[in-house]
Amino acid sequence: MTTLKTSTCILMLAITGLAACDLVDPNRINDPNNPSVNEVLENATPGQLQNLASGLESRHRGSTVGALDFTGSLGREFYPMYASDPRFMDQWLGLDKNINAETEESFYQAGQIWSVPYGAIKQANLLLQAVQNTGALTEQEANGYLGFAKTIKAFQYLIPLLTHGKDANTGGIRFDVADPLNPGPFISFDEGLTRIRALLDEAQTDLENAGSSFAFNLTNGLASFNTPATFIILNRAIDARTAIYAEDWGGAIQSLEAAEPFFELAQGEDVMNKGAYFVYSGPPDQFNPYYYPPNAATNQILMVHPSMIDDAEAGDERVVQKFFERDDAVIQVGLSSAYQDARFESNTSPVPWIRNEELILIYAEAKAQRNEGTDLANAVDAINLVRQTWNLAPFASTDREDVIDQILFERRYSLWGEFGHRWLDAIRYEQLDELPTDGGQIFRYVARPLSENTWEDFAGNNN
């Protein structure tokens, strides 16, 4: 019958069709949108290595700048007046008495000072691995990458280390974190600082053997440090910052000397402001997250803590330059501030990472603490370089405690909003009780995050 023939014919055609194309055995579908990690783990190209290095600079910016409002609020440099989520004010200022940062393992937005910097460390590890497994670089070029990656990585460890404190049970950090399923043990605060500085030293050695130029580009924020020789200077400046947390005053002075000419004992705004910055250029890059138009009619804004205004010396140019008095105060949960951050001209203004002004004050502090020979007088001179720059009368004292108090006061205004210095300084000098409470709590450190504790339980380390 014709019908049977026709049907059979159609069926046969269909079957041949199946066999002819990949209808029944299609090819593997690869990620159409992104390269794979595996592509850079072996024989990465110079272009890919540049991308990984820029990726590291991006992660480094994200974690460092991202932590500023958190640490700044804990140290009462800011009011986090992000009204859409009451937890910023309630938890960061400790207004909610039920929630204590020192014990709450899910403290609000604490990932910013833990998982985010560790994300930068992960990126640094990927870059290190890629550099070590490629034949595309000369040894000098490879050393340049290694020195850069290790310096950034070392700095990133500082963020969780300093914010999670010295508490024997919950303080310290993990240092060996390359294998997500076999993380290394927690190490103490002091050991953490030692390891960070050792890594900085290692990076310095790499940079010393990296020839005269990097094989990769850095952003303009690091324009003064874009060769191996100048990046060493930045590396030493970071070591100087780290040294004061370790109370290694001699080491701090030594590193500052190695950080010359970035470290410069002179006055003037330009001298104070030279240093390393995080740049923002708008899409496809990001905007400066802390820029708010003056008088912005919003309730989602980071405000200056009023104590900064109340405690200021009359005529302090830093106050004029950094704090803008609004027409209307912003009021939330009964707290009020009339001042917003005035440091940035636009949403593409850079955010400081480390400036000479900080190095001068590190120098002053290290000298005052060491207090040998002319050290105290040197410290006072350094303080006055800063004060004169900002239009303030010179400070004079021969009392070491007074000098140190003055240094902390200058750090408060000179370094406001740059690294959570006020909080970290108050912890170092046990002055947390001097911070205004705003009716809330002042925390000494932030509890170890939930994922670390659950992992320890899960891995059986707590049994």
Residue 154 to residue 197: CA distance in whole angstroms: 7
Per-residue three-class SS string for 77-89: CEEEEECCCCHHH
List, as one string, the DSSP characters of 4-23: HHHHHHHHHHHHHHHHHSSS
Pick the stretch among 71-79, 249-257, 325-333, 415-423 that binds other proteins (CB under 8 A).
325-333
169 binds other proteins (CB under 8 A): no
Residue 278 to residue 274: CA distance in whole angstroms: 13
297 binds other proteins (CB under 8 A): yes
51 binds other proteins (CB under 8 A): yes
Residue with tokens 């050991």: 191
Contact set for other proteins, span 187-206 (CB under 8 A): none
Contact set for other proteins, span 417-456 (CB under 8 A): 449, 451-452, 454-455
Can you tell me which of 71, 73, 91, 378 binds other proteins, judged by CB under 8 A?
91
Contact set for other proteins, span 106-165 (CB under 8 A): 106, 108, 111, 114-115, 118-123, 125-126, 160
30 binds other proteins (CB under 8 A): yes
Does residue 324 sit in helix, strand or coil?
A: strand
Pick the stretch among 44-52, 207-215, 307-315, 362-370 that binds other proteins (CB under 8 A).
44-52
Taking the CA atoms of residue 86, residue 432, residue 278 and residue 404 in that order, the dihedral angle to the nearest 10 degrees is: 160
Burial grade of 397 (CB within 10 A; 0-12, 13-18, 19 or more):
middle
Contact set for other proteins, span 67-86 (CB under 8 A): 82-86
Residue with tokens 């780290």: 242
Binding mask 384-413 for other proteins (x = CB under 8 A): ------------------------------
Q: What residue spans of 189-248 are helical by DSSP H?
A: 189-208, 228-245
59 binds other proteins (CB under 8 A): yes
Complex with other proteins: residue 106 or 391, whichever CB lies closer: 106
31 binds other proteins (CB under 8 A): yes
255 binds other proteins (CB under 8 A): no
Binding mask 341-380 for other proteins (x = CB under 8 A): -----xx---------------------------------
Q: Strand pairing partners for 186?
A: 174
Residues 6+ apart with CB under 8 A from 60: 120, 152, 155, 156
Task: Give min distance, CB of 396 to other proteins, in A.
Answer: 38
Pick the stretch among 20-28, 143-151, 232-240, 353-361 that binds other proteins (CB under 8 A).
20-28
331 binds other proteins (CB under 8 A): yes
Task: Give min distance, CB of 26 to other proteins, in A.
Answer: 5
300 binds other proteins (CB under 8 A): yes
Q: Strand pairing partners for 79?
A: 303
Complex with other proteins: residue 153 or 355, whichever CB lies closer: 153
298 binds other proteins (CB under 8 A): yes
Residue 168: other Cβ atoms inside 10 A: 9
Contact 434, 412 (CB under 8 A): no
Cis before 293 (ω within 30):
no
Q: Which pair of structure tokens corresponds to residue 312?
A: 């200021």
Handedness of CA 53, 274, 349, 332 (dihedral sign): positive
Task: Give min distance, CB of 248 to other proteins, in A.
Answer: 25
Can you tell me which of 299, 321, 391, 437 binds other proteins, judged by CB under 8 A?
299
Handedness of CA 450, 452, 456, 459 (dihedral sign): positive
Complex with other proteins: residue 248 or 438, whichever CB lies closer: 438
User: What's the first-to-final CA gap in the chain, in angstroms?
Assistant: 80
Task: Give min distance, CB of 55 to other proteins, in A.
Answer: 3
Q: Strand pairing partners for 413?
A: none
Task: Give min distance, CB of 260 to other proteins, in A.
Answer: 26
Can you tell me which of 57, 206, 239, 438 binds other proteins, judged by CB under 8 A?
57
Can you tell me which of 287, 371, 388, 428 binds other proteins, judged by CB under 8 A?
287
List, as one string, the DSSP characters of 128-152: HHHHHT-SSS-HHHHHHHHHHHHHH
Can you tell me which of 32, 135, 373, 460 binds other proteins, judged by CB under 8 A?
32
Angle subtended by helix axes 115-132 and 139-164, to nearest 10: 160
180 binds other proteins (CB under 8 A): yes
Complex with other proteins: residue 209 or 227, whichever CB lies closer: 227
Complex with other proteins: residue 118 or 323, whichever CB lies closer: 118
The vertex-411 CA angle with 406 and 412, nearest 5°, equals 95
Contact set for other proteins, span 209-238 (CB under 8 A): 217-221
Angle subtended by helix axes 46-66 and 139-164, to nearest 10: 20
